[in-house]
C-alpha cells in the first residue's frame, strides 16, 4: 500500500472522477496575457497532466474588461477567444488530465482605469480608484461570469473556478470595509453575499450539472473588518446549495500584512482553517468536498492534512512549477526525487510583479518548456564541473542526464555551496530540500561526485569541457580594525565556526544582512517550525473569536540588540524581493533592529564600530557591540580560469564564478542548466 493512499485515492464527483486528491492551484504565469503563448501554455499544462495531477486550474482569466488584472490581461469573453483555448484543453486531455479555467475579476485591485467595485474605495495596492457599480452594472458583471463559464465549457475545459477570495471583486462585496452600498447588494450580510451566490447559481444553471464548479472561498480575510466565521459558514452553505462542486480555501487578501505563502510560513500553516470549515459543513450534513491550500509542498504533509480530516483534496500551485512530475513521483514512492518548491517567490510571483513570464528558481524550464529543451547529447563528452553550489549541481545533473560522463569536484565535504548557509536562516529551512533533491539527482544521473577535492589545472587535464562553478567568497571590506577577534564574516557565523554576544552590529544590509539579522533575532528558535508562536507573532487568530482571523501581533521580546548598517543613504531593505521584502522589513521592525543608511565605517575598536554619517562625515559615534558581522557582498572565485585557458581546456563560467554582483540561486541554477543543455 502506498504511503500516500489518501492523497492518491480517486475523488468521485458524481458526474466525473478525479484520479487523485491533488489540485494544481491557479497561478498567473504571464503566458495567459498573450495570444502568442498558446503553444507554450499547452506544453506547460500538458507536462503537469502527464505528471498525473488530478485537476489543473489555469491562471486567472477576466470575464470582461472591467475585471482585468492589468490592461489587455487574459480575458475570456468571446467565442474567438474560446477557440484559442482548444489546443490547451486538448493537450491536457491527451495526457489523461483534467483542467478548469479560473474566472478572475479583480475589482478594485485592477491596475487600470476601468476597474469597478461595490463602492468607490481605492485599494492600498493599486493607484486606480474603482468606479462604484450601479445595480445594472452588477448584473452585467454576473452575466460576464456566466458567459465566461459557458465559453470555458465550449473551449473544452472540464470546469471553472470562480475566484471569490484574496480580496478580489467578489471578496470586496463581502466585507464592510469595501462594500458601503445601501441597496440590495450591501448592508446586511445576506445582501453582501448575494453576488457570489448569484454567480454560482447562474453559472450552474448555464453550464448544466456535469461541469466542475469550484468556488474559492475566503476563509480568513486577514484584514480589518474581515468576515466573521458565522458569515464565512453562511456563505459556504449557500455556495454549496447554489451548485458548487468543490469549495477551495482562500487565505488573506492581497493587501493583508501577514505572510500567507512565503517560505517562512509554517508548512500547511492554514490547514486548520479548512478543517474548521469542513467539520462545520459535515455537522450540517453538507458533503461538498473542500480543498485546502497554502504552503503544502511535499507528499507527507499533504497526506497528513488529509489524514487529519482537514480537507478532501489538497491544492498546491508553485510545487508544480518546481516539479511537473510531483504526483507521479509520490505514486512511485520516490518523494526523495521531488524537486521541492522552497516558497521563495523569486522566479514566480516576483516575476509576475515585474511584468516578466513566471518560471521557477529550482526549475528554470517551468513555463519555458518549449524554449529550454534538455535533449540527449549528440556525442558523449567527458565533462568536469568545478563546484557543487547551485550552479554546479544544476550543470552536473543536466549534463549527465543528457548522456555526458560527468565528474563534479567539490572542495568541501558536502554539496550546496552558499545555499547551505542560506538553509541555516530561520524561515529558510525549505532550502535543505533543494540540497536533498540534488543529492538524489546526482546519484540518479550517475554523476561522479568527488567531495573534499579541490579542482586544479592539473586534475582537470583530459576533460573535453570544464564548467567552472566555483562560486563566491564573502567580500572583506577595508575597515581599520577589521582584523580584531570580535569581527567575523556571515559565513563564519552561519557555518557555526564562530558565535556572537548580545549586542551585534551587522555591516551591510543586502539580502544576507537581513537574513543574518533574522538568524540572530530568532537565536535558534525558528518561528516557521513553531506554528503557534508564528501565529502569535503575526497576529493570526481563530476567526470564530476575531473577525477575519486578525488579532494584535505579539512578537516575542528580541533576544539581541541589533544594529544594521549600509553605506548608501536611505532605509535599508529597498533591494529585497518584490513580494517578500516587506516580510523581512516587518520582521526586523518587530525585533527592534536599529536600521541606518549613510554610514561611513571609520574604524572598529574593541568596544564596537565607530561611524560617521553622510558625505560630510558628520556626527561621529561609537556603536557599542560585542561582535561585528560583515555582510558586505561577495567576490567571484575564478582563479582556475586563467590556467585552464592557458592549458587549452574549454572552460565556461557559470553562477557566482561568472558574476558575483546581484547573484542569486535563480541565476546560478538557470545558468548551470543552460550551459549543460548547450554542451
For the CB of residue 390, give the shortest distance to ligand SF4 in the complex, in Å: 12
Q: Which helix (H) or strand (E) holds 26?
A: none
Angle at 89 between CA 92 and CA 213, to 5 degrees: 100
Contact partner at residue 409 from ligand SF4, ligand NAP, ligand FAD, none, CB < 5 to 8 Å by partner kind: ligand FAD
Contact partner at residue 347 from ligand FAD, ligand SF4, ligand NAP, none, CB < 5 to 8 Å by partner kind: ligand SF4
511 belongs to the binding site for ligand NAP (CB under 6 A): yes
Contact partner at residue 389 from ligand FAD, ligand SF4, ligand NAP, none, CB < 5 to 8 Å by partner kind: ligand FAD
What is the rounded CA–CA span in Å between residue 411 and residue 434? 19
What is the rounded CA–CA span in Å between residue 629 and residue 564? 10
Residue indicated by cell numbers 535563480:
666
**Annotation marks residue 168 as catalytic:** yes
For the CB of residue 493, give the shortest distance to ligand SF4 in the complex, in Å: 25
For the CB of residue 641, give the shortest distance to ligand FAD in the complex, in Å: 11
Backbone angles phi, psi at 511, to 5 degrees: -55, -40
- Considering only residues 64 to 93 of the shown chain, the ones binding ligand NAP according to CB under 6 A are none
The SS3 call for residue 462 is: coil
- What Cα–Cα distance (Å) separates residue 142 from each residue in 75, 203, 499? 15, 9, 61
Q: For residues 548 and 636, which CB has a smaller minimum distance to ligand FAD in the complex?
A: 636
Long-range contacts of 281-285 (CB under 8 A, 24+ apart): 281/233, 281/236, 281/237, 281/240, 284/237
512 belongs to the binding site for ligand NAP (CB under 6 A): yes
Stretch that binds ligand NAP, among 38-46, 254-262, 644-652, 660-668 (CB under 6 A): 660-668
Residue indicated by cell numbers 482605469:
113
For the CB of residue 341, give the shortest distance to ligand SF4 in the complex, in Å: 3
Q: Which three cell numbers stand for residue 342?
A: 522552497
Selected from 356, 568, 592, 617, the binder of ligand NAP by CB under 6 A is: 568
Contacting residues toward ligand FAD, per CB under 6 A? 344, 346, 386-392, 409-412, 417-419, 421-422, 425, 454-455, 469-472, 494, 511-512, 515, 637, 640, 655-656, 663-666, 668
What is the rounded CA–CA span in Å between residue 312 and residue 235? 19
- Considering only residues 342 to 371 of the shown chain, the ones binding ligand SF4 according to CB under 6 A are 342-348, 360-362
For the CB of residue 417, give the shortest distance to ligand NAP in the complex, in Å: 12
What is the rounded CA–CA span in Å between residue 85 and residue 538? 41
Q: For residues 311 and 494, which CB has a smaller minimum distance to ligand NAP in the complex?
A: 494
Q: For residues 193 and 631, which CB has a smaller minimum distance to ligand NAP in the complex?
A: 631
Stretch that binds ligand NAP, among 211-219, 317-325, 542-550, 563-571 (CB under 6 A): 563-571
For the CB of residue 320, give the shortest distance to ligand SF4 in the complex, in Å: 8
Q: For residues 229 and 419, which CB has a smaller minimum distance to ligand SF4 in the complex?
A: 419
What is the rounded CA–CA span in Å between residue 42 and residue 62? 19
The SS3 call for residue 160 is: strand
Residue indicated by cell numbers 509576475:
352
Return the closest-CA partner of residue 564 out of 629, 622, 500. Answer: 629
Contact partner at residue 454 from ligand NAP, ligand SF4, ligand FAD, none, CB < 5 to 8 Å by partner kind: ligand FAD
Return the closest-CA partner of residue 67 out of 101, 33, 117. Answer: 117
Q: For residues 244 and 394, which CB has a smaller minimum distance to ligand NAP in the complex?
A: 394
Of the residues 44, 61, 168, 601, only one is catalytic, namely 168
Return the closest-CA partner of residue 214 out of 290, 283, 306, 318. Answer: 290
Backbone angles phi, psi at 602, to 5 degrees: -75, -50
Selected from 242, 321, 391, 406, the binder of ligand SF4 by CB under 6 A is: 321
- CB–CB of 261/294 below 8 Å? yes
Name the site residues for ligand NAP (rule: CB under 6 A): 346, 475, 477, 508-513, 515, 566-568, 575, 577, 631-634, 662-664
**Which positions are catalytic?**
168
Amino acid at each position: 500500500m502506498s504511503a500516500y493512499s489518501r492523497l492518491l485515492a480517486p475523488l468521485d464527483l458524481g458526474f466525473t472522477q478525479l484520479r487523485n486528491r491533488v489540485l494544481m492551484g491557479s497561478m498567473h504565469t504571464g503566458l495567459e496575457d498573450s495570444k502568442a503563448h498558446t503553444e507554450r501554455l499547452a506544453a506547460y499544462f500538458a507536462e503537469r497532466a502527464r505528471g498525473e495531477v488530478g485537476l489543473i486550474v489555469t491562471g486567472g482569466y477576466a470575464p470582461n474588461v472591467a475585471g482585468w488584472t492589468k490592461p489587455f490581461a487574459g480575458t475570456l469573453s468571446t467565442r474567438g477567444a474560446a477557440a484559442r483555448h482548444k489546443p490547451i484543453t486538448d493537450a491536457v486531455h491527451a495526457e489523461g488530465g483534467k483542467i478548469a479555467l479560473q474566472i478572475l475579476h479583480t475589482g478594485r485591485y485592477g491596475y487600470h482605469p476601468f476597474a469597478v467595485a461595490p463602492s468607490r474605495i481605492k485599494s492600498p495596492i493599486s493607484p486606480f480608484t474603482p468606479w462604484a457599480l450601479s445595480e445594472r452594472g452588477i448584473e452585467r458583471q454576473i452575466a460576464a461570469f456566466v458567459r465566461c463559464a459557458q465559453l470555458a465549457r465550449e473551449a473544452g475545459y472540464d470546469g471553472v473556478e470562480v475566484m471569490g477570495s484574496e480580496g478580489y471583486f467578489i471578496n470586496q462585496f463581502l466585507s464592510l470595509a469595501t462594500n458601503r452600498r445601501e441597496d440590495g447588494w450591501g448592508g446586511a450580510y445576506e445582501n453582501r453575499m448575494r453576488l457570489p451566490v448569484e454567480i454560482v447559481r447562474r453559472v450552474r444553471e448555464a453550464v448544466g450539472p456535469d461541469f466542475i464548479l469550484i468556488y474559492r472561498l475566503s476563509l480568513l480575510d486577514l484584514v480589518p473588518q474581515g468576515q466573521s466565521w458565522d458569515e464565512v459558514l453562511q456563505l459556504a452553505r449557500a455556495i454549496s446549495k447554489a451548485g458548487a462542486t468543490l469549495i477551495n480555501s482562500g487565505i488573506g487578501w492581497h493587501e493583508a500584512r501577514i505572510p500567507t505563502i512565503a517560505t517562512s510560513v509554517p508548512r500547511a500553516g492554514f490547514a486548520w482553517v479548512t478543517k474548521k470549515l469542513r467539520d462545520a459543513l459535515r455537522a450540517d450534513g453538507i458533503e461538498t468536498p473542500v480543498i485546502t491550500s497554502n504552503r503544502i509542498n511535499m507528499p507527507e504533509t499533504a497526506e497528513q492534512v488529509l489524514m487529519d480530516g482537514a480537507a478532501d483534496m489538497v491544492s498546491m500551485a508553485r510545487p508544480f512549477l518546481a516539479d511537473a512530475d510531483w504526483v507521479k513521483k509520490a505514486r512511485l514512492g520516490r518523494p526523495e526525487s521531488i524537486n521541492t518548491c522552497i516558497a521563495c517567490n523569486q522566479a514566480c510571483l516576483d516575476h509576475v510583479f515585474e511584468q516578466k513570464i513566471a518560471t521557477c528558481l529550482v526549475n528554470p524550464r517551468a513555463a519555458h518548456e518549449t524554449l529550454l529543451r534538455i535533449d540527449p547529447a549528440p556525442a558523449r563528452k567527458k565533462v568536469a564541473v568545478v563546484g557543487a553550489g547551485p550552479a554546479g549541481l544544476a550543470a552536473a545533473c543536466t549534463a549527465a542526464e543528457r548522456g555526458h560522463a560527468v565528474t563534479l569536484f567539490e572542495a568541501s565535504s558536502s554539496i550546496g555551496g552558499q545555499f547551505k548557509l542560506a538553509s541555516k536562516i530561520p524561515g529558510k529551512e525549505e532550502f535543505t530540500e533543494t540540497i536533498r533533491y540534488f543529492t538524489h539527482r546526482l546519484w540518479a544521473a550517475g554523476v561522479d561526485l568527488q567531495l573534499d577535492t579541490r579542482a586544479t589545472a592539473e586534475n582537470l587535464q583530459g576533460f573535453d569541457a570544464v564548467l567552472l562553478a566555483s562560486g563566491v567568497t564573502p567580500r572583506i571590506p577595508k575597515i581599520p580594525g577589521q582584523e580584531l577577534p570580535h569581527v567575523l564574516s556571515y559565513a563564519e557565523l552561519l557555518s557555526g565556526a564562530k558565535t556572537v554576544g548580545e549586542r551585534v552590529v551587522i555591516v551591510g544590509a543586502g539580502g544576507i544582512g537581513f537574513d543574518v539579522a533574522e538568524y540572530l533575532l530568532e537565536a535558534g528558535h525558528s518561528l516557521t517550525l513553531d506554528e503557534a508562536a508564528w501565529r502569535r507573532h503575526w497576529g493570526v487568530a481563530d476567526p470564530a473569536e476575531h473577525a477575519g482571523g486578525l488579532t494584535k501581533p505579539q512578537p516575542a521580546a528580541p533576544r539581541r540588540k541589533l544594529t544594521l548598517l549600509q553605506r548608501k543613504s536611505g532605509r535599508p531593505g529597498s533591494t529585497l524581493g518584490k513580494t517578500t521584502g516587506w516580510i523581512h522589513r516587518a520582521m526586523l521592525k518587530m525585533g527592534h533592529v536599529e536600521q541606518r543608511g549613510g554610514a561611513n565605517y571609520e574604524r572598529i575598536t574593541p568596544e564596537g564600530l565607530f561611524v560617521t554619517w553622510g558625505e560630510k562625515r558628520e556626527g561621529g559615534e561609537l556603536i557599542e557591540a560585542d561582535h561585528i558581522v560583515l555582510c558586505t557582498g561577495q567576490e567571484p572565485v575564478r582563479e582556475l580560469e586563467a590556467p585552464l585557458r592557458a592549458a587549452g581546456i574549454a572552460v565556461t563560467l557559470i553562477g557566482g564564478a561568472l558574476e558575483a554582483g546581484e547573484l542569486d540561486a535563480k541565476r546560478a541554477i538557470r545558468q548551470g542548466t543552460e550551459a549543460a543543455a548547450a554542451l
